[in-house]
Amino acid sequence: MKTLGIITYPRTGSNWLGDILYGNNSLYMAELFCRDYLEFFRKISDLLVVSNIEDDIIKTFNQIYDRNNFWINREIHNNLSIFYRNKKIYSMDLLDAFKRQAYKLNKNFIFKFFFEHETTDIPLEKIIDSCDIIIVNYRKNLVHSYISLKKAIIDDQWSNTLDNNFKLLDTQVIWNKIEFLQYKYNIVSNLEKTINILNRKNKDYIKICYEDLHSLNLLDKKQYIQKILPNFILKDTETFLKQTFDPDAHIKSISNLDDYLNDIKLIDYEYNL
């Protein structure tokens, strides 16, 4: 059994990648370290029977989690977030606990780690050390991820791969050149930091670029993922593999389009590992 860590940042298709591997011979904890625990609550039910995490945490979880409902009430979600942070399970201990439980179920363990999740208690270097396989997942065009992030924050919608309640909204966002350049600097700095750590540790890793992956047809996409991750069984559905990429989708969401079109001529908005 293997532990696969997807090291990335929001709006890079990381949920899609984890979801096509989730199930069959793998467990996927999308929000293991995230402040937003919706994915955590949804997936943890698979492990409750065999979990050795503190009894009071499981007891509280069982009391307020509705197993018949895919999503939980927002108020309950907020209370649970506070509860889990106070219990200090927002730590490396949680990762180790779920790895053990996945292995007991004879399954691979997959988790996602955003750069913003790094703290003194959860350093990126420890995350890398805990993995058998590392995927560095990124988006070449940083304008796309920047606009998509702004939309997701406004809409409070973060994934459409598993959420039956997901709705495509015509939300408009404001392009801000200074804000984008700071965003780009943070992303590029963290990507380079990650690669430097991996190289220093002589640790192999897989680079997955959103644009390159989703430019492939269905068959090539499936073969590519199976080639780079031979120990993982893809979800038995083509729905997840049919996701397509529209390079101009972000333009429809920018309210001050003239400002964007003028600015984008003068800045370098792409980054390739």
Task: Give the tens place of pLDDT for each residue, 54-97.
Answer: 444 444 444 444 433 333 445 545 555 555 555 555 567 767 77
Rounded to whole angstroms, how far apart are CA atoms 244 and 115? 26
pLDDT value, residue 174: 94
Rounded to whole angstroms, how far apart are CA atoms 222 and 230? 11
Task: Give the tens place of pLDDT for each residue, 211-230.
Answer: 999 888 888 888 898 899 88
pLDDT value, residue 16: 82
Rounded to whole angstroms, how far apart are CA atoms 125 and 256? 40
pLDDT value, residue 187: 96
In a domain, 155, yes or no: no
| pTM value surpassing 0.85 | no
In a domain, 164, yes or no: no
Task: Give the tens place of pLDDT for each residue, 166-200.
Answer: 556 678 999 999 999 999 999 999 999 999 999 99
HSE, side-chain direction, 13 A CA sphere, residue 16: 23
In a domain, 85, yes or no: yes
Contact 9, 114 (CB under 8 A): yes
In a domain, 8, yes or no: yes
| Cβ neighbours for 208, distance < 8 A, ≥ 6 positions apart | 17, 135, 136, 137, 138, 228
pLDDT value, residue 58: 45
In a domain, 63, yes or no: yes
Indicate the number of domains in the chain: 1
CA Rg, the chain, in Å?
19
In a domain, 91, yes or no: yes
